[in-house]
Amino acid sequence: MTAPTKFVGRSVARLEDRPLLLGKGRFAADVSFPGQWHMRVVRSTVAHGKLRGIDASAALALPGVHAVWTHKDVAHIPPIPFRLTGLKELEPYRQTVLAKDYVRYVGEPVAVVFAADQYVAEDAADLVELDIEPLAPVLDACGDTGPFDDTHATEPSVIRKGYGDVEAAFKAAHAVVTLALSTGRHSGVPMETRGAIARYDEARDILEMHGAAKVPWWNRDHIARMIGRTRANMHLLEGHVGGGFGIRGEIYPEDVLVCAAALAFNKPIKWIEDRREHLIAANHSRQQQHNVRAAIDAEGHILAIDNEFFHDNGAYMRTHAATVPDLSAAMLPGPYRVPAYRAVGHIRLTNKTPCGTYRAPGRYESTFVRERLMDAIAAKVGVDGVEIRRRNLIGKSEMPYDLHLETLGTHIVYDSGDYALLLDKTLALAGWPALQADLKKRRAAGEMVGAGVAMFVEKSGLGPSDTVRVEIKSDGKVEVVTGVASIGQGVETAMAQIAADALGVDYTSIDVVHGQTDRIDQGAGAFASRVTVMCGEATRLASVKLRDKLLRLAAELMQTEPAALDIINGEIVRRDSTGPSMTLAELAQARPGELSAEDTFLSSHMVYPYGVHVAAVKVDTDTGAVAVERYVIGYDVGKAVNPRLVESQIAGGLAQGLGGALLEEFVYDDNGEPLAVTFADYLMPTAREVPAMSILVTEDAPSPLNPMGLKGAGEGGANPVGAVLASALDDALQRPGAIVDLPVTPQRLVRLVKTPPASI
């Protein structure tokens, strides 16, 4: 009997790529319907002000303009709800779909124009006149609070997390290390800007929204509720997505407006944002200021960490609510043993674009803080950064490790890990001793070069459930219907590999359906690096269940027992290799409509992959430009379904982390006017800035929380990039603790180079 072909663990080719390579991708802008109207948003040009009036008469007089909506037209629509970490006290700070009495950031939707085509809509939007009385903007999240409205201040809530006796630890400390650190405001910039196209099918009483991403099922339920529909008569449909990164696919005002308008006018409504709109209106992220201190003993062992930070959330609390500061507070301890811990996170509102999650939310920020703290402890004790990390690492024998903290509704228990082993493997791949010797020689010759190390623990596999349905079609092909979304991470390929191994078929014979709320009633979507863990196990369970059914039905037809049969490469055969066989297509035709199975995977705990980054850099002392000469990543994912997909995720994350560490920043003038609204001012890394990298994907610590041992891989490439580059730049400058702010732009670095170090 021929041995079955196995696919899990192999870097097989992606199934998603063919339509994209052939130019047959279907992105939001590609979706059009006969008779559609185009929507254009009129946005505030004032950061903070009282909205006195709106004059749309000139716009309405323009030929081709059908309607203009202001808040009074949508006053019945409630504010946008919270999807994650929705604390009750945050609810008064939610955003309405159009500004009501105040505008609170440049780019806030104030009115929408509906016209025959996008050009008329844009011209008409320019004719809408806004009467806004300017008010003083709040731009500093660390300063005094101000009024949000007549009854609420600009500090909606304070996150508090901790355990142990922090005060006693500081009293007993040999030394205390204190730092003030900040991460700059930046965000995801996908190739495809946001878009939404709504169409009402009156005959079926179905409202469709095309252009969905990330969490279509949650968005379906809540948009329907906001506009008076039910989930049964609303469908969200995902096409191809030109990048997600946490910011695409949440409910924004525009999504609700196109759906409400399609119902009101019984016309298809299309909205596609331009790049300037994206940079001022889509979720920003990352901006935090941390005042952190560590109590240590004489050998540099951590006794306690105490961190107070200020999270700049922009003008409103959007769908993520307190998620980012909550994760910042909960995940800061990382891979180190911290006997006592306290975090106090002030959520502050400012007159800037509202914030949400961006790849490794709260961890990019807290890893920067923690790893800067580790380097400072090393300098204080007089050992190198690698050694101080080794002294504080949680040991393999301590797993599972209870962090005594909670986030995202789950208790944080590190499920498995061998942090010291991965550190050793990554340093070996980097050739750390030889690298150090070479850098020392080059510094002696006058070059400004250095290397750094950063470690981290990620979270992934957020539950509570995923459901998958698997069916054999009449032609023998397999359809896997999921409740997840694809944002470019290789969902179709990975799920096909898992289903193929469970069923005994070729992975290329499997069609994976995702992001279609009309195909499966429930789905959690794609966020928090959850898809491979949750949907992967649900796919395996449903496929195993279907395999058992196939063998039982085939046994009836072949007059034998199910145990005597097997499925190998898509054919049902006898294990003893005697007698006839049967293809899946023949079985499907013999038992039409019976060859399907559905199953659900439940999980109450996240899983925790972990990693190590090593970077070597060179600084141009005249321009402040940073060349990343060497970059090595070690990452343990428990089990890699497709190693090449994992490596690709890590590489993409590195590019984004690099941008936030060295280039990207949303800055504002004193009036709250954004100064980075085009790619001329919002600088992003190109292929020239992204270094060649060595990636080591390990499977030393499979998760005990799912049978395949899976952990997520979506965010480990971005998580510690700011931290490791800060460490490497300190080394290049030969000035411990020099880098305290991200991004380290060329201008900031030149100032550091030209400023003599403070005396110690």
**Is 6 a domain residue?**
no
One domain for residues 243 and 327: no
One domain for residues 223 and 353: no
Coil, strand or helix: which one is 400?
A: coil
Pick left, alpha or beta for residue 249 (phi over 0 → left; psi -120 to 50 → alpha; otherwise beta): left
Into how many domains does the chain fold? 4
Please tell me the predicted confidence (pLDDT) of residue 758. 62
**Is 8 a domain residue?**
no
**Is 9 a domain residue?**
no
**Is 10 a domain residue?**
no
E strand or H helix that includes residue 536: helix 536-558
Q: Name the residue among 422, 489, 504, 290 with its Cα closest to residue 699.
A: 422
Contact (CB, 8 A) for 126 and 65 = no
One domain for residues 371 and 511: no
**Is 722 a domain residue?**
yes
**Is 401 a domain residue?**
no
Rounded Cα–Cα distance for residues 614 and 423 (Å): 10
Rounded Cα–Cα distance for residues 293 and 727 (Å): 18
Domain that holds residue 126: 31-137+188-281
One domain for residues 91 and 131: yes
One domain for residues 62 and 78: yes
One domain for residues 160 and 306: yes
What CATH code is carried by the domain that includes residue 105? 3.90.1170.50
Last residue of a domain, one of 586, 602, 618: 602
Mean pLDDT, contiguous 10-residue spans, the chain (760 residues):
85 95 95 98 98 98 98 98 92 98 98 97 98 97 93 96 98 98 97 97 97 97 98 96 94 98 98 98 98 98 98 98 98 98 98 98 98 98 98 98 96 98 98 98 98 98 96 96 94 98 97 97 94 97 98 96 95 90 96 96 96 98 96 98 97 97 98 97 94 97 97 97 98 97 96 74
One domain for residues 646 and 752: yes
**Is 509 a domain residue?**
yes
- Burial (CB < 10 A; 0-12, 13-18, 19+), residue 345, is buried
Q: Name the residue among 607, 634, 610 with its Cα closest to residue 532.
A: 607
Last residue of a domain, one of 558, 586, 602: 602
One domain for residues 534 and 544: yes
The two three-digit tokens of residue 344, written as one number: 């106090």
The two three-digit tokens of residue 353, written as one number: 């674009």
Last residue of a domain, one of 340, 364, 392: 392
Rounded Cα–Cα distance for residues 268 and 202 (Å): 12
Rounded Cα–Cα distance for residues 447 and 442 (Å): 6
One domain for residues 346 and 199: no
* Strand-pair partners of 296: 175, 302
Please tell me the predicted confidence (pLDDT) of residue 759. 47
Q: Which amino acid is at 718?
A: A
Confidence (pTM):
0.97
Instruction: Kindly list the strands in the beta sheet with 626-636, ordered across the sheet, starting from the edge strand earlier in the chain.
Output: 449-457, 610-619, 626-636, 693-698
Please tell me the predicted confidence (pLDDT) of residue 1. 57
Say what angle helices 491-503 and 536-558 make with each other, to 10 degrees. 40
One domain for residues 593 and 646: no
Coil, strand or helix: which one is 731?
A: helix
Q: Name the residue among 527, 517, 439 with its Cα closest to residue 483.
A: 517
Please tell me the predicted confidence (pLDDT) of residue 4. 78
- Burial (CB < 10 A; 0-12, 13-18, 19+), residue 491, is buried
Write the pLDDT tens digit of every residue in 663-672.
Answer: 999 999 999 9
One domain for residues 558 and 640: no
What Å distances lie between residue 414 and 164, 307, 402, 534, CA to CA? 18, 21, 6, 17
Write the pLDDT tens digit of every residue in 53-93.
Answer: 999 999 999 999 999 999 999 999 999 999 998 889 999 99
One domain for residues 495 and 568: yes
What CATH code is carried by the domain that includes residue 613? 3.30.365.10
- Burial (CB < 10 A; 0-12, 13-18, 19+), residue 3, is exposed
Contacts of residue 152, defined as CB under 8 A and 6 or more positions apart, other chains included, come to: 92, 93
Buried (b) or exposed (e) across 6-39, using 16+ Cβ within 10 A?
A: ebbeeebebbbeeeeeeeeeebbeebeeeebbbb
**Is 569 a domain residue?**
yes
